Chain A
């Protein structure tokens, strides 16, 4: 047991990555880091060192919080700006929620940086990559540590900006550019809600301090309609960042960045910021019936919809993107039923296995040069380590005992059963869908025969397709193994419910009774694992079998009569499966169309309306100076007439 963590050290957690960003940028500006030279590696090492130090300090923070049973360790805020009667503060705060988030962010980020050393080797943007990564991690830490809502918003925006830069990292690709813009614009719509919420709470209570707002909300000092609108505004921001329906459209496209970036975005930074925001203001949400219901409904819709879309995607990273959206929906659902502990616990476990899945996908891509699962297959033989670790992650995602996902998903199901049975059934359906797409992904990628891959277009491997897929270098495999170990074991940390205590220890007294607290129910665990296995079984039946058939077609050089007969026989069998598949696909396609034409359509429609009026108005700017003068004249007449309308009406006798 260490002493309680002093404030300066907390600030250091935040500033170490920022410092690394500054040093790398400065070095790049001075031309010290030429690609390929020894110095070039320096930025990677520096980033890792800074984040490793942050990680160690985060452990200290966790230790201090454990001693306090998760309660807030308060530090005085520092005055930043005073404008007349307005005073803005900055400060840091550490409590159970923060400490857990710090651990998640720093540990996942550290492993991702390590992995990137291999993945990004030889990329011309190597320095830029690490500079952005440092900034990204630092911003996320700042977001988690912020003690007032305006400060939180600043880091929130920085996180958005960094993800924009990283998604568009390979900017010479058209798709990367479009995806980056889409991510930025869509999350911005949510941010509007967030900003409005800040303005609302500020004008109504004169408070920006998060602790104070929570206290006021919990003790009923704020009017209920204000709380509801405030919470809904926050949730709009959270939905944008966490890709919740209907603002989820940016995330599947955001796969255009380098894979380690996706891993970081999906596991520990960008998208979990939304969940964190709702959790941070949980005392506010919990006292407003409408807000909490909005969270649970949106979460449920998102979880189911995204999972069904994951089943039809062919790009392995898109499958995972939908999977992330769906899992975030789970977390929101959990928050919505009042189970903050379960939600953050799931965030915690999800961070590890989702990072692992992405890094695994990156490793696969490294070997085959493609993300298209139809061009993979049979990789289990070539890449045993990747195969094993990815499978562990997949099973953890499905929630197979005793992997990490089992414990956290189980807890959500239990709490849902205790609070809102309808949500329980939705969640269970989600488990099934999850199992199907995970199974499909694993079978298509690692099962069957290798189907050729594709030429790579980045890094040292650019345009040099390996004749045969190979296992990735150790620098990429080590993080996979570490993450796999974690994905297996981190579920146990909460077996006694100790983590829930920390995560709920900071909540104001008044809200304690509103927090859901379900007890372990054996049948739920059994059912959920059974449903998960059933889903995997179905996936095996459809996809693994089908792969064998494809193999036969390609190996048609030696036709065997018996096999042909059997094939015919199997075709008959498959008819029904395919018909079912088509129906399932139809539903998913409908969802997809809704996504593309309705949601995107509204966004695009507004944009084109803007462009249209823009094109029209610019014609008025005809270059005729005298027309401009006439505009002044007409302007004067109109203004005079409108200000003096009463007098003018009086003159004409009205």
Chain B
């Protein structure tokens, strides 16, 4: 059986869902971050799949490549975001001696 666009998309969707689940269910902030990274990478996979299986036959190389370019930007930006996130985690730990997300409820109601 040939592996088609649909398969990549379904895999991407699964990864995205798992990532989202982690981001929403993990108590440890680092685990949450990993979930978020997973969501970004699921999107990356989707981008690459769309580039690999172009919807229009007459798409130019440049157009097809923009999917790849996008992925490179996403990876870079996600790295920056992760850096900030870890710094924040340090800050929170210093204040509260925990990085459990579900104990972050000073601010509510």
**Which A residues form the contact surface with B (CB < 8 A)?**
618-619, 621-626, 629-630, 633
Contact = CB atoms under 8 A, between A and B. Distances in A.
A623 B23 CA distance: 16
A625 to B, nearest CB: 6
B84 to A, nearest CB: 16
A621 B104 CA distance: 13
A621 B25 contact: no
Given A633-B20, A633-B24, A626 B109 contact: no
Interface string B73-106: 0000000000000000000000000000110111
A633 B20 CA distance: 9
B102 A619 contact: no
A581 B102 CA distance: 69
Interface residues of B, number: 13
A633 B35 CA distance: 14
B106 A626 contact: no
Contacts of A618: 109
A272 B100 CA distance: 64
29 contacts: A618-B109, A619-B109, A621-B108, A621-B109, A622-B105, A622-B108, A622-B109, A623-B104, A623-B105, A623-B106, A623-B108, A623-B109, A624-B101, A624-B102, A624-B104, A625-B101, A625-B104, A626-B23, A626-B24, A626-B25, A626-B32, A626-B101, A626-B102, A629-B20, A629-B23, A629-B24, A630-B24, A633-B20, A633-B24
Interface string B28-41: 00001000000000
Question: From DSSP, what is the main secondary structure of chain A's interface residues?
Answer: helix
A624 B20 CA distance: 16
Nearest to B32: A626
Contacts of B101: 624-626
Nearest to A617: B109
Contacts of A623: 104-109
A626 B32 CA distance: 9
Interface string B6-33: 0000000000000010011100000010
Contacts of B24: 626, 629-630, 633
Report, nearest first, the 8 A-B pairs whose CB atoms are least far apart.
A623-B108, A623-B105, A618-B109, A626-B24, A629-B24, A630-B24, A621-B109, A622-B108
Contacts of B104: 623-625
B105 A624 contact: yes
Contacts of A621: 108-109
Given A621-B108, A624-B102, A624-B105, 18 more contacts: A621-B109, A623-B106, A623-B107, A624-B101, A624-B104, A625-B101, A625-B104, A626-B23, A626-B25, A626-B32, A626-B101, A626-B102, A629-B20, A629-B23, A629-B24, A630-B24, A633-B20, A633-B24
Contacts of A622: 105, 108-109
A622 B102 CA distance: 10
Contacts of B108: 621-623
Contacts of B25: 626
Nearest to B23: A629
B27 to A, nearest CB: 9
A634 to B, nearest CB: 11
Contacts of A633: 20, 24
**Residue with the greatest number of chain A CB neighbours at <10 A, chosen from B23, B24, B32:** B24
A444 B38 CA distance: 85
| Best-buried of A629, A630, A633 by chain B (most CB within 10 Å) | A629
Contacts of A625: 101, 104
A330 to B, nearest CB: 52
Nearest to B106: A623
A624 to B, nearest CB: 6
A619 B25 CA distance: 20
A633 B17 CA distance: 10
B40 to A, nearest CB: 15
Instruction: Name, among B25, B107, B109, the residue most crowded by chain A CB atoms within 10 Å (CB to CB).
Output: B109
Nearest to B108: A623
Contacts of B102: 624, 626
A625 B104 CA distance: 8
Nearest to A628: B24
Contacts of A630: 24
B106 to A, nearest CB: 7
B91 to A, nearest CB: 15
Contacts of A629: 20, 23-24
A624 B101 CA distance: 8
A624 B104 CA distance: 7
A630 B102 CA distance: 13
A393 B37 CA distance: 83
A499 B13 CA distance: 82
Nearest to A627: B24
Interface string B45-75: 0000000000000000000000000000000
A621 to B, nearest CB: 6
Nearest to A622: B108
Contacts of A624: 101-102, 104-105
B100 to A, nearest CB: 11
A630 B24 CA distance: 7
A265 to B, nearest CB: 41
A603 B104 CA distance: 39
Nearest to B36: A629
B63 to A, nearest CB: 28
A132 B25 CA distance: 58
A289 B108 CA distance: 56
A623 B108 CA distance: 4
A548 B108 CA distance: 66
Contacts of B109: 618-619, 621-623
A625 B107 CA distance: 10
Nearest to A618: B109
B52 to A, nearest CB: 26
A590 to B, nearest CB: 43
B28 to A, nearest CB: 12
A623 B109 CA distance: 7
A347 B107 CA distance: 57
B21 to A, nearest CB: 9
B90 to A, nearest CB: 18
B83 to A, nearest CB: 20
Most chain B CB within a 10 A radius of its CB, from A618, A622, A624? A624
A619 B20 CA distance: 24
A170 B27 CA distance: 54
B31 to A, nearest CB: 11
Nearest to B102: A624
Nearest to A620: B109
Contacts of B106: 623
A626 B27 CA distance: 9
